[in-house]
Amino acid sequence: VADEAAILERLRSAGGRVTGARRAVVAALLAADDHVTADDLAATVQAADPEIHLSTVYRTLDALERLGVVDHVHLGHGRAVYHLADDPHQHLVCEECGVVIEAPHDLFAEVAERVQATYRFRLRPHHFAVLGRCEDCVRRAAE
Amino acid sequence: VADEAAILERLRSAGGRVTGARRAVVAALLAADDHVTADDLAATVQAADPEIHLSTVYRTLDALERLGVVDHVHLGHGRAVYHLADDPHQHLVCEECGVVIEAPHDLFAEVAERVQATYRFRLRPHHFAVLGRCEDCVRRAAE
DNA sequence: ATCTTTGCAAACTTTTTGCACCAAT
DNA sequence: ATTGGTGCAAAAAGTTTGCAAAGAT
């Protein structure tokens, strides 16, 4: 799904309209590395067209999310980041410095099974980042 | 630490003052079962004294947290819950219906070790709840 | 022509903060 | 007398929404 034309077509065939704003958001999303906030995307699209409003970015992301094209993950207090849905992965976020480490999506497969068996609860750890401390911050705190 | 007088004494010996508002918040905290929001606590204390302001509840919880008496956990979008620090545990929260399941604090010990070895990242999963779906909601979705 | 999307401003939710007044030690 | 706490109202931060105008099909 990592192709602008295909994504736009998908919007269209779901009864949606393909507008300049949506084109710009999709392009920005494909160009960006992972972990972009709605604000980041707005800044990118506004560099070309300052008329495009932040709320339009949110609404476009919302539409793309309903189509299964993107996912969003909450990294901690407040800020959420968006990424293409075709590459599921985990996010480890340092509570101290905010650095984001990507890990394979099956990192929690083992615990997930255990939790399923014990608590009859299906873990879906990808929608919220897993918090902790990176090595640097652990070391800094130890001094 | 699960004793009102002891907690108040701890506030005092840290140079703090013991006020009516603080007494009320501590009492409400001890009386409540787990998973109370600041709002819940405010409602409880305001039943006795409507003058006590929500911001005072927040500031009191903040003071207690700095003393290590309480912890707060983010259950999902926005809402945080407070509980006494002497009983650390994990929270499994259903994204669908919001139900909260408590699990032992060492539930993630195994993954934590693996993550530490592989990513040099120290997991601290207790400050944010782990999200997923409870059995009922999984079943309901499957229909 | 129709139905969707847009810009804007305003609402929203939860928590924090500046300030002048008040109270515990 | 100090220092710290309080009520209030207002500010945050991030996201959503109501509306009338503009646009895609």
Q: What is the pLDDT of residues B4-31, one digit of tens each?
A: 999 999 999 999 999 999 999 999 999 9
Model pLDDT, residue A83: 93
Q: What is the pLDDT of residues B90-113, one digit of tens each?
A: 999 998 888 899 999 899 999 999
pLDDT surpassing 70 at residue B1: no
List chain B residues with CB under 8 Å of A103.
115, 118-119
Question: Nearest nucleotide by C1' from A17 CA?
Answer: D24
Percent of chain A with pLDDT over 90: 78
Model pLDDT, residue A96: 85
Q: What is the pLDDT of residues B45-81, one digit of tens each?
A: 999 999 999 999 999 999 999 999 999 999 988 789 9
Cα dihedral angle (B7, B9, B15, B18), rounded to 10 degrees? 80
Task: Write out which nucleotides of chain C lie closer than 7 A to a protein Cβ.
Answer: 3-10, 13-18, 23-25
Q: How far is the CA of B53 from the C1' of C21 (A)?
A: 15
Largest CA distance in chain A: 59
Q: What is the mean pLDDT of residues A65-79?
A: 91
Contact B139/B129 with Cβ under 8 angstroms?
A: no
pLDDT surpassing 90 at residue B117: yes
Q: How far is the CA of B15 from the C1' of D1 (A)?
A: 16
B106 Cβ contacts chain D strand, under 7 Å: no
Q: Which residues contact A1 (CB under 8 A, 6 or more apart)?
A: A7, A10, A69, A84, A85, A86
Instruction: Tell me the H-state helices in A67-134.
Output: 109-119
Distance CA A134, CA A131 (A): 10
How far A132 CA sits from the closest chain B CA (Å)?
Answer: 4
Distances from the Cα of B127 to the Cα of A1, A131, B72, angstroms: 35, 8, 7
Q: How many residues does chain A have?
A: 143
User: A98 pLDDT band (50/70/90 cuts)?
Assistant: confident
Model pLDDT, residue B127: 87
User: A76 pLDDT band (50/70/90 cuts)?
Assistant: confident
Q: What φ, ψ does residue A59 adopt, rounded to 5°?
A: -70, -35
